[in-house]
Chain A
């Protein structure tokens, strides 16, 4: 296989950008802004975390849900750096408000909505995503089908609100119109040599699906108010087979 020359690489990069544009992908205006995810952001098109789209997180166990809540908290902290409010919609509130402060979000800037049924959560989420005065809306849902996700995606395209959907039922993981599908699993924490006790929160962050991007697996930890990438991104071919899905 011939080694790619500098010219060819540039050409391919340009063609990729063209392709993205033809596919209707709009590059975000403030593309320089990073949300602190480090190398994970490089998996997304134009190496920018997509704000104003729907991200779904698969978390089946309460431990995964807890890790995902922390991870979303870290992202929300970056999104809400300039002020603003976000919504957290669920059937029964399990998020412990004082804990979210550890991830840099003022818990009083989160408004908790409790709905009775799955249907009502979807309705509330769609209404929230239509309101451009919000930064983000997080919803905890057992499942979501393609048309529902499409409705949400259409709502955010106008308002530029970022939507996070925490899905707890893995049996019904189907195709969705979301920009990315994540799976966060807690990993054993690392503590410095000789220091006993539990160390900093550490997660295995898997991007199962990225629209127009590259899925991957990273290990991140949360330290002093920011994400720190522990391991280098693995190649897609080294990922376990079940994760090799390209959206």
Chain B
């Protein structure tokens, strides 16, 4: 899935927070300051102070000289971090992956979240409106990379939503500072007259690296989506994963078995404790020679039964090639579902398909390499024979409709109807004899026709007129004539099944 990120920039984070706490401060210029090397240095200023030329980094004495009625408030230590974290946690309602971007921003991984608000624009509008209502002056942008989202949030002038692939166009008018560069790199760029990102974006990367250091190239590539950038979510989504490092490399099947058992013990205990069961699990084995081998299993119903999952993995152990030895085992439950707590039957009656022991048998069968598929069928509302049943989606699914028995159906159906030669003297009458695989079958008895109309909204097949026929040896067949009777056209007949 295409990644999308949103960047939220709090323009006056601490100042806004303070104004909320002390409403009297709202209409006067004030700054927050903290002592640095024995001088009071401004760390944040509100919008009013900024209009009068006060900005963060100034010494308080200078600022006071410029604006005599400036209020100076001590900056509580750790306030910015605490505020950002609290706001980040509040933003988890919009996406599960929120990261703080100190000193004054948040990064939201919005991949797959925005459609819940009806698209990216309403999503962005919703967040900005909510935060502004709270009293924070924010700017926000959504883009395909973290770097671009951040740059546009801080410096963008027109469009806050940058579609993936349009990063280059969005970045080129922005100043180099939008790339979050060190200040001396920014100054050097300015000295050389490179005032926008676009002016150096297409320069050779080697030249840029030589002149401005590797950081500039890295940030540029990250913003353009040519290099990966990761965020550290505030509330990491805990993966169901267990690790088992080995002191000595494991080379034997027994060793692998023990490793799987240990990993499963821990993993299943956690799953069972959370009322979950796994549907898919992957075992990754990191070898001494730097290669990785992996095997995967899947189950038919969510389970946290370690012994059963072990049996499924045991079938796959021969596929694990240890070579010089495995030094790290990693077991991950890649698909998790809520598991119903198992109710053990009090009486040993014959169970239905959802029985746990049975499910384990089916998993075992499905896990074997030679087994093609395990399927269960439910009736489907179609007259067309091939579509009269469908695959059940799960092992416990109950049929919604009943199986029809009003028309005769053959016990064996050919996957594809096979053409036969017939002699049928009268139209719309069963044939007198037919030839199938070189053998002649004179027909003694016949039933039909049963016309099954094609399902024109699904395919383009011809309608079929089915006959149940019995030859002189008592063998019963299901034949059909494809299409309409028309003058002068030969009719194609098919054999479709065998009756009991």
A interface vs B, CB < 8 Å? 62-63, 65-67, 69-71, 73, 80, 82-85, 92-103, 106-117, 119-120, 123-124, 127-128, 131-135, 185-189, 191, 196-199, 201-203, 222
The contact of A108 among B376, B415, B447, B469, by CB within 8 Å, is B376
Residues B412 and A65 in contact, CB atoms below 8 Å apart: yes
CA A133 to CA B354, docked complex, whole Å: 11
| A residues less than 8 Å from B358 (CB atoms) | 85, 131, 133-134
CA A80 to CA B411, docked complex, whole Å: 18
The contact of A103 among B355, B361, B500, by CB within 8 Å, is B500
| B residues less than 8 Å from A69 (CB atoms) | 411-412, 500
Residues B500 and A70 in contact, CB atoms below 8 Å apart: yes
Residues A70 and B355 in contact, CB atoms below 8 Å apart: no
- The answer to whether the Cβ of B377 comes within 8 Å of any Cβ in the partner chain is yes
For A118, the closest partner residue in chain B by CB is B370
CA A80 to CA B350, docked complex, whole Å: 9
For A93, the closest partner residue in chain B by CB is B375
Residues A62 and B351 in contact, CB atoms below 8 Å apart: no
| B residues less than 8 Å from A131 (CB atoms) | 357-358, 361
Give 10 closest A-B pairs by Cβ, nearest first: A70-B500, A120-B370, A66-B498, A84-B350, A188-B474, A96-B413, A114-B372, A99-B409, A101-B403, A197-B447
Residues B371 and A115 in contact, CB atoms below 8 Å apart: yes
CA A113 to CA B372, docked complex, whole Å: 7
CA A115 to CA B368, docked complex, whole Å: 9
Interchain nearest-CB distance for A77 vs B (Å)? 13
Contacts A188-B470, A189-B474 given: A99-B411 contact, CB under 8 Å? yes
- The answer to whether the Cβ of B405 comes within 8 Å of any Cβ in the partner chain is yes
| B residues less than 8 Å from A133 (CB atoms) | 350-351, 355, 357-358, 361
Contacts A127-B365, A201-B476 given: A112-B374 contact, CB under 8 Å? yes
CA A131 to CA B363, docked complex, whole Å: 13
Contacts A69-B411, A108-B377, A197-B446 given: A98-B404 contact, CB under 8 Å? yes
CA A93 to CA B413, docked complex, whole Å: 9
CA A19 to CA B196, docked complex, whole Å: 103
- 8 Å CB interface, B485-499 against A: 497-499
The number of chain B residues with a CB under 8 A from chain A is 58
Interchain nearest-CB distance for A187 vs B (Å)? 4
The contact of B377 among A66, A85, A97, A134, by CB within 8 Å, is A97
The contact of B376 among A62, A71, A111, A134, by CB within 8 Å, is A111
Contacts A83-B350, A198-B446 given: A106-B475 contact, CB under 8 Å? no
Residues A73 and B370 in contact, CB atoms below 8 Å apart: no
The contact of A127 among B364, B385, B414, by CB within 8 Å, is B364
Residues A109 and B353 in contact, CB atoms below 8 Å apart: yes
Residues A62 and B411 in contact, CB atoms below 8 Å apart: no
Residues A66 and B405 in contact, CB atoms below 8 Å apart: no
Interchain nearest-CB distance for B464 vs A (Å)? 15
CA A23 to CA B53, docked complex, whole Å: 108
Besides A67-B500, A131-B358, A185-B474, 8 new A-B residue pairs in contact (Cβ under 8 A), listed by A number: A69-B500, A84-B351, A102-B409, A114-B374, A189-B445, A189-B470, A198-B447, A201-B500
- The answer to whether the Cβ of B38 comes within 8 Å of any Cβ in the partner chain is no
| B residues less than 8 Å from A110 (CB atoms) | 376-377
- The answer to whether the Cβ of B213 comes within 8 Å of any Cβ in the partner chain is no
The contact of B403 among A66, A106, A115, A198, by CB within 8 Å, is A106
- The answer to whether the Cβ of B94 comes within 8 Å of any Cβ in the partner chain is no
Residues B349 and A63 in contact, CB atoms below 8 Å apart: no
CA A70 to CA B383, docked complex, whole Å: 22
| A residues less than 8 Å from B371 (CB atoms) | 113-116, 120, 124
Contacts A84-B350, A99-B411 given: A63-B472 contact, CB under 8 Å? no
| B residues less than 8 Å from A115 (CB atoms) | 370-372
| B residues less than 8 Å from A66 (CB atoms) | 410-412, 476, 497-500
Contact sample, A vs B, 8 pairs, CB 8 Å cutoff? A66-B411, A107-B377, A108-B353, A111-B374, A113-B373, A119-B370, A186-B473, A222-B500
CA A197 to CA B430, docked complex, whole Å: 11
Contacts A84-B350, A98-B403, A120-B371 given: A198-B361 contact, CB under 8 Å? no
Residues B403 and A186 in contact, CB atoms below 8 Å apart: no
Residues B377 and A114 in contact, CB atoms below 8 Å apart: no
CA A82 to CA B352, docked complex, whole Å: 10
For B355, the closest partner residue in chain A by CB is A133
For A81, the closest partner residue in chain B by CB is B350
Residues B475 and A63 in contact, CB atoms below 8 Å apart: yes
| A residues less than 8 Å from B385 (CB atoms) | 96, 98
Contacts A63-B498, A102-B405, A201-B500 given: A189-B476 contact, CB under 8 Å? yes
Contacts A83-B350, A109-B353 given: A94-B412 contact, CB under 8 Å? yes
For B353, the closest partner residue in chain A by CB is A85
- The answer to whether the Cβ of B388 comes within 8 Å of any Cβ in the partner chain is yes
Interchain nearest-CB distance for A89 vs B (Å)? 9
For B477, the closest partner residue in chain A by CB is A63
Residues B468 and A127 in contact, CB atoms below 8 Å apart: no
Contacts A66-B499, A108-B399, A120-B371 given: A73-B355 contact, CB under 8 Å? no
CA A107 to CA B392, docked complex, whole Å: 11
For A189, the closest partner residue in chain B by CB is B470
The contact of A128 among B361, B413, B445, by CB within 8 Å, is B361
Contact with A along B387-410 (1 / 0, CB 8 A): 011001001001100011100111
- The answer to whether the Cβ of B379 comes within 8 Å of any Cβ in the partner chain is yes
For B358, the closest partner residue in chain A by CB is A133
CA A33 to CA B457, docked complex, whole Å: 51
Contacts A84-B350, A116-B370, A202-B474 given: A96-B409 contact, CB under 8 Å? yes
- The answer to whether the Cβ of B378 comes within 8 Å of any Cβ in the partner chain is yes
The winner among A116, A131, A135 for most chain B CB atoms within 10 A is A131
- The answer to whether the Cβ of B362 comes within 8 Å of any Cβ in the partner chain is yes
For B444, the closest partner residue in chain A by CB is A188
For B397, the closest partner residue in chain A by CB is A108
The winner among B408, B468, B474 for most chain A CB atoms within 10 A is B474
Residues B500 and A186 in contact, CB atoms below 8 Å apart: yes
| B residues less than 8 Å from A113 (CB atoms) | 365, 371, 373-374
CA A83 to CA B446, docked complex, whole Å: 36
Interchain nearest-CB distance for B315 vs A (Å)? 11
